[in-house]
Structure 1
Amino acid sequence: MRRSRLPYACLSALLVLGGWTATGTGQATADDSPTKAPAKASPAPASEGLLQAMRRDLGLSKEQAEKRLAAERTATALVPKARKAAGSAYGGSWFDARSERLTVGVTEDASPATVRRVEATGAAVRTVEHTARELDRAKARIDRLDAPSGVSSWHVDPAAGTVVVNVVRGERADNDVRDFVSRARAAGPVTVRTVASAPTTFAAGTVGGDPYYTGNVRCSIGFSVHGGFITAGHCGGVGQQVRGWDGSYIGNFQGSSFPDNDYAWVNVGSGWWTVPVVLGWGTVPDQLVRGSAEAPVGASICRSGSTTRWHCGRVLAKNETVNYAQGAVHQMTKTSVCAEGGDSGGSFISGDQAQGVTSGGWGNCSSGGETWFQPVNEILGRYGLTLHTA
């Protein structure tokens, strides 16, 4: 990895490419089911920089941020146990920031024994109308519909027990939008919500920073894998050459998918190497990556990118279909984290656990917005890659 110009190069050097690590924004794709077992979350204390970022972006004190991170680690570990305990009555799960506990939905027909098994895991229980399987099937039927540009995205909201269809403000009266919503309602329980604007990808023209380049497009590196790094698919096609922040040759896109998915991987050579680090940009210390345990809805999450650097927020939804101008991308995770052009492909991380690569969104880091990422375990499974961990 060629890099020497940053004052924190000693840690950056742990990263794949010279400054690439967790920076970036790109579109992310999500695979249906991860094929690699996520590593256990480490109880290592959070850095001062991370706590400061959570204070800035989430409005938490240092003590509140430390308590939140500990509770989220516990909740993340509980998800598979609680889902198994709920069995066929499982209605989804999410992290409740107020109680700082994992909440699990179970249907009304769940037996008392089932409820007790779920509670025994340490999760809170809430009665819901629909199972997670029913909601997922409804969303899958909506995925088969052609969506007009006035429809931003749609996802399952387990807490509300519905599939949420997001419509761009001012477009709800459009005939094509109304027709789509009507057909979506026929697919299952649907709630329509309004969003500020349509989503866009976060690739950008060539500018300075610590990015990687394909032609005149700048994106950000996501996570190191053995043999290369993963990033967003909309940043480049198979065979395209990739250059680093210093203009030197890194490698080529070995796999890429967009739309439908938004993920890719690039091989690394010519003096570059991989390391399990996400760049903190001096805002926070560079973050070691120790696994890829999936954080639940409601958990805090942070993003590193070559344009806006380090920002934090919350996981808002999973398995969301995002309707970009280039086509729909499926199984994305939505967050309240901001991003801007050039952040595409960059890292989303929760504690020391890799979550995904930046895809796109709306808004910016001055006025706020929402950003989607492609879950990392899906990308690893799709290409048979192994995450480089500390």
Structure 2
Amino acid sequence: MVKHSEADLNQVQKSLDAYGAEHDLVGHSWAVDAPTNSVLITVAQNVNEDASKKFIAHAKKFGDIIRVERLEGSMVANGIDVRGGTAITAHGNNGAPLHDCSVGFSAVDNVFGVQHFLTAGHCSEPAVAEWRKNDLLLGHTMSTSYPGNDYASILHGNWLAWNTSGYVSGSGGAAVPIKGSLAGPPLAGTTICKSGKTTGWTCGTVTNPSVTNDYGDGDVLGNVRTTACSEGGDSGGSVVQNKGTTANPKWMAAGLVSGGYAYSKTPTGPKIYCGAKVGLVSTNFFQPIHEVLNNLNMKLVTVP
């Protein structure tokens, strides 16, 4: 026969809920624990010790119905996964937003295991002080290679808000699992898909695996030319290739969106559209991922 009835246990939890509503109890949790016929209070390391002592003292007034356990870890909210192809915003030293780009992939350096996000190098101009997502800090630029190459790494700086991820945002927002990365640029004639903030998930054909292009800042060498639609804001986004089958896909990271040709829909309108939106074949470029990982000594965060 149990000592404490279910009604008694629930009443004590409600009393603790009422106390918690009026006090700052960061790092604590409490609940009815039926197997031990008690109300279990769990105390993490990141508590305010004074507040914790007062809370435990208050709880113990209920007698042996209360059980307390202490854990060595800290209690934190789980961050939201940052998928490849989603929007990030560069901010200047004064905190003002500068421009939008896209996350390509999450990566880990091979020396210290520190986590990063990868994007386009031209996105990370010298004026960029930090990166944000939904106006919450994402991190700070760790390294940039542009021109010559076109990539940058963002040092993860806000674990409470964001998690690295092995997924890319696919068609309709579906989660596309990344299984690894290509060892070199994809071959001409093969299909790739890209994910970016502005045009989302689009696919096309590789027309040249190694081209040199100049956006106005100097030559970028070894980019891959494709027919996948991309526009401003997609820069840094994910380029992937399926090395499996339609039924059993194996998506591999291929590169980071770099740039391309932009067109106007009217004679005097802004040139912001990819070719596919004006009745032409899109012509766009991406930075091969194998160069990025080799130069930065990193590996991608992938899905097993």
Q: So what's the TM-score if we normalise by structure 1? A: 0.46
State how 1:1-390 maps to structure 2 within 5 Å: 18=80, 20-23=82-85, 210-215=86-91, 216-226=98-108, 227-237=115-125, 240-244=129-133, 246-271=134-159, 272-280=162-170, 282=172, 285-293=174-182, 294=184, 295-351=186-242, 352-363=251-262, 364=274, 365-367=276-278, 368-390=281-303
8 Å Cα contact 1:20-1:211 kept in structure 2: no
Runs of 4 or more, structure 1, over 6 Å off, are none
- Deviation at residue 282 of structure 1 after TM alignment: 1.6
Higher Rg of the two aligned structures: 2
Greater RCO (Cα-Cα under 8 Å, separation 6 or more): 1
* SS in structure 1 of the partner of residue 258 of structure 2: strand
8 Å contact 1:19–1:279 — kept in the other structure?
no
- Structure 1 residue 19: Cα displacement: 6.8
The code of the aligned residue for 1:324 comes to Y
1:20 Cα deviation from its structure 2 partner: 4.5
Tell me the alpha carbon deviations over residues 291-338 of structure 1, each in whole angstroms, 9 at most, x when there is no partner. Answer: 112432211100000000010001111121112211110011110111
Deviations 1:172-204 (A, max 9, x none): xxxxxxxxxxxxxxxxxxxxxxxxxxxxxxxxx
2:214 and 2:231 map into 1 onto residues whose CA distance is 18
Does the 8 Å contact 1:237/1:255 carry over to 2? no
Name the SS of the counterpart of 2:294 in structure 1: helix
Between structures 1 and 2, the one with greater strand share: 2
CA 1:286–1:380 in structure 2 vs 1: closer, same or farther (change >3 Å)?
same
Aligned-partner residue type, residue 221 of structure 1 = V
Distance 1:241 1:307 in 2: 21
State the AA in 1 paired with 2:102. Answer: S
Offset at 1:389?
1.3
What secondary structure, in the 3-state scheme, does the structure 1 residue paired with 2:261 have?
A: strand
Change (3 A) 1:237 1:325: closer
Tell me the SS of whatever aligns to 2:290: helix
Gaps of 5+ in 2: 1-78, 92-97, 109-114, 243-250, 263-273
Separation in structure 1 between the aligned mates of residue 123 and residue 135 of structure 2, nearest angstrom = 17
Structure 1: tracts of 5 or more residues without a match: 1-16, 24-209
Could you tell me the percent identity over the aligned residues? 34
State the number of aligned residues: 186
Residues 255-296 of structure 1: CA deviation (Å, up to 9, x unaligned): 00211111111111312221111012525x211000112432
Q: Secondary structure at the match of 1:369?
A: coil
Structure 1 residue 237: Cα displacement: 3.9
